[in-house]
Amino acid sequence: PVIKTNGDLRTAIDYRSKMHAPPQTDVILDRTAGYGMFSFMDGYSGYNQSQIAPEEPIHTTFITPLGLSCFNVMP
């Protein structure tokens, strides 16, 4: 955990070993060209609001000094 300026704890997880580089924007646009639907996620209001499937939170489990935790929404 990281201590915020107001003294509260913020969960901070280093997922770098689990992540891969995201595709370039032009690659994403090329892959979505021609499809009839487009989705936009609000990066401000939608932060940590996308639900994870009920069977998937086990894949987000992490250990803190306070015990085991997992995300129910996308980190």
7 in a structural domain: no
Count of the separate structural domains present in the chain: 1
13 in a structural domain: no
4 in a structural domain: no
- Three-state SS for 27? helix
Asked if 65 contacts 1 with a C-beta cutoff of 8 angstroms, the reply is: yes
The rounded mean pLDDT for the chain is 77
Per-residue pLDDT at 2 exceeds 70: yes
The more confident residue out of 1 and 50 is: 50
5 in a structural domain: no
H helices, E strands: number in the chain: 1, 4
Question: Alpha-carbon Rg of the chain, whole angstroms?
Answer: 16
